[in-house]
Amino acid sequence: MPLVNVMVNGRAYTIACDEGEEDHLKALASEVDSKVSELLGSVGQVGDQRLILMAALLLADELHVATAHLETAKQELAAAKAAQVEASDRMEHSESIAADVLENAVKRIEDIAAKLKAA
């Protein structure tokens, strides 16, 4: 299991990760460090633990908002698919009615043609 050195708030941390996940872990640590830097600008130095906790809460809030947006998009997609199925069913029904009307018209024309031929 590889060990990765990351920097958060100017401090080095060594963290173990799965093989091949080193770059991903570094990117995540960079996001946490960015949030910590944002917080430092607004609340000042309140201790590493508190800053990292606050950064984690901000990131969790962003995840919560993104998850809510994703759920809304899923519901909208499901509604659009249902509307598409309904429209397709209506079109199929309309085509069936049109075919029946045409069949009746053909039958009537054939009947008229047969009567004219017989006359």
Return the closest-CA partner of residue 9 out of 46, 59, 61, 60: 46
Q: In this predicted model, what pLDDT tens digit does every residue of 53-104 receive, in sequence order?
A: 999 999 999 999 999 999 999 999 999 999 999 999 999 999 999 999 999 9
Q: In this predicted model, what pLDDT tens digit does every residue of 24-43 receive, in sequence order?
A: 999 999 999 999 999 998 88
In this predicted structure, the answer to whether residue 4 has a pLDDT above a threshold of 90 is yes
For residue 69, which amino acid is it?
H
- Token pair 């990292």: residue: 52
Backbone angles phi, psi at 18, to 5 degrees: -70, 155
